[in-house]
């Protein structure tokens, strides 16, 4: 087993944080993958930096809001009403600027196609939180805490994802838990809000 491209932590980081043994590598890497995917579902967006290719509609404006953020770099930007996206349709890097944290591209002297044009803009970019980004450290720590929580819960027979409490009158109540509250508080700032 290995961690996926969207993994927010590595086995080595989990081992350093919690002292896991090498014999637990596959299990912990699976938990890292699960935690990372759970965070992306909860936040409604990819979090770990990776490469994307987007085909987008024209806007009729100088600005284009990319589907993901932050955007670390743009490899290729093309505007082509024929949708062939040949090299001749590429926009030179000197002709636009990237507002990376918000994922907005601004053209200096043109517009991103007509607003009625469908699939005329192609963007190849790297987006998400890169390893060196300070925000990635927060995500890494949250991921490791969730991994350790899931690993601990899985060692308790029949209690994965369940919590039991006694009310003041002595009644036992069990309920499902998804991501623990202390972990959700760490990732709350990364949740995509309605556009």
pLDDT in tens, 154-194: 776 555 555 566 666 666 665 556 788 899 999 999 998 76
In whole angstroms, give the CA distance from residue 21 to residue 15: 7
72: Cα separation from own chain's centroid: 13
Return the higher-pLDDT residue of 156 and 53. 53
Q: How far apart are CA 188 and CA 64, in angstroms?
A: 26
pLDDT score for 157: 58
Q: pLDDT tens for residues 72-121? A: 999 999 999 999 999 999 999 999 999 989 999 999 999 999 999 999 99
| Phi-psi region at 192: left, alpha or beta (left = phi > 0; alpha = psi -120 to 50) | beta
**What is the average pLDDT score of the chain?**
91
Q: Exposure pattern of 86-96 as b/e (b: 16+ CB <10 Å)?
A: eeebebeeeeb
Comparing CA positions, the residue from 43, 30, 17 lying closest to residue 193 is 43
pTM of this prediction? 0.82
Residue 131, SS3?
Answer: coil
CB contact at 8 A, 6 and 46: yes
């Amino acid at each position: 087993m290995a961690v996926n491209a969207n993994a927010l932590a590595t086995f080595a980081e989990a081992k350093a944080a919690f002292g896991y043994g090498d014999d637990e590598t596959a299990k912990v890497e699976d938990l890292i993958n699960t935690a990372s995917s759970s965070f992306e579902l909860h936040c409604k967006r990819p979090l770990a930096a990776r490469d994307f290719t987007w085909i987008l509609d024209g806007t009729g404006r100088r600005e284009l809001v990319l589907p993901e953020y932050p955007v670390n770099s743009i490899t290729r930007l093309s505007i082509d009403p024929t949708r062939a996206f040949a090299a001749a349709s590429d926009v030179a890097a000197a002709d636009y600027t990237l507002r990376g944290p918000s994922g907005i591209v601004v053209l200096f002297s043109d517009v991103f196609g007509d607003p009625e044009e469908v699939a005329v803009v192609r963007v190849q970019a790297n987006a998400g939180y890169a390893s060196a980004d300070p925000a990635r450290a927060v995500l890494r720590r949250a991921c490791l805490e969730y991994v350790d929580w899931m690993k601990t819960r899985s060692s308790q027979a029949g209690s994965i994802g369940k919590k039991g409490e006694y009310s003041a009158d002595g009644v036992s109540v069990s309920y499902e838990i998804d991501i623990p509250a202390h972990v959700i508080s760490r990732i709350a700032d990364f949740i995509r809000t309605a556009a």
